[in-house]
Amino acid sequence: MKYWASIAALFVLALTVALAPTNDYFFYAAFVVLQFVVLATAWNILGGYAGYVNFGAGAFFAIGAYTATVLFKWLGAPLAVQIAAGAAVSGLLGFGTGLLTLRLRGIFFAIATVAVTFVLETLMINWRYVGGATGLQLVRPAVMPPFESYTRMLFVVMAILALVSVCVARYVQDSWIGRGLRAIRDSEEAAECSGVPTLKLKLFACTVSGALMGAAGAPMPMYLAFIEPASSFSLNYSVSALAMPMIGGTAHWAGPVIGALLLASIQQIVTVTISSEINVLIIGVLLVLFVVAAPDGVLGLFRRWLRSSK
């Protein structure tokens, strides 16, 4: 009850902020931060709970974006349809990738997901309809009232996606599915011998994770009014999707949320105040620091602090 109330409160907060007379730049930046909340939360469903490192988050994200672009150019589909379709196609991609690669374990699975990124990026570079390598300019439709600008509307949309993905992650974590995924992470063979249908559960996690990543990417073309392959498939998305949960803590749904809010906000601030180039360095340095000093992330640090202060 308290949980649903806070979800509703957060939604109302986002809506109120979007209607308040704030500088538009805030929404421009907040959209990106929330997008990373979705991406990190989605990554954690497979990577954190089941221990399968997906290094191709960028591919799922970009396929969501390209699905939205195609639907927009072809049918002029509204944003909600673009997002739903982006999620569906990326979910399918997750299922397919899972079928082909989930028999691989550890590092081999990670490498396979990197390969998926390169294959799909090459495909998009050579697809004229979506602009090929030069990209495609898109004209945004008129903004829906009561919103003042399209960016503000996109901010609310991304806030909804973030809340939905957190609800999904929390449900998966607390249900029997989450227990099975944890068992898989600890010992796949023992999980199987304890009656856990490991392949099915991994496929499920891969599909859900992919779908949420696709949903995160789908509003991107409208946000930029532009799409092109190099930035859509950027390794930055893949690295961030992995680094944020690791820094926040992978064992709990709150971990990726904390990691994403922390890192993406720092990145946004640094981009404006110092330089956009130093962003990647920050992620790298923080990731190394956390992996060495706090392998359980911010959540782990917090738990340790709670225990020592008792």
Contact 172, 47 (CB under 8 A): no
Min dist CB 170 to other proteins, Å, is 17
Closer of 46 and 216 to other proteins (Cβ): 46
What does the binding site for other proteins look like in residue numbers (CB under 8 A)?
176, 179-180, 182-183, 185-187, 189-199, 251
First to last CA, the chain: 29
Closer of 86 and 255 to other proteins (Cβ): 255
Min dist CB 183 to other proteins, Å, is 5
Min dist CB 52 to other proteins, Å, is 15
Closer of 176 and 305 to other proteins (Cβ): 176
Establish whether the linkage from the previous residue to 146 is cis, with ω within 30° of 0.
yes
Contact 17, 215 (CB under 8 A): no
Min dist CB 146 to other proteins, Å, is 44
Count CA atoms within 13 Å of residue 137 on its CB side: 1
CA distance 61 to 86: 9
Closer of 85 and 196 to other proteins (Cβ): 196
The helix/strand/coil state of 137 is strand
Strands in the chain per DSSP E: 136-137, 226-227
Closer of 136 and 299 to other proteins (Cβ): 299
Closer of 121 and 296 to other proteins (Cβ): 296
Min dist CB 9 to other proteins, Å, is 28
CA distance 163 to 141: 25
Residue type present at position 58: G
Count CA atoms within 13 Å of residue 213 on its CB side: 36
Min dist CB 201 to other proteins, Å, is 10
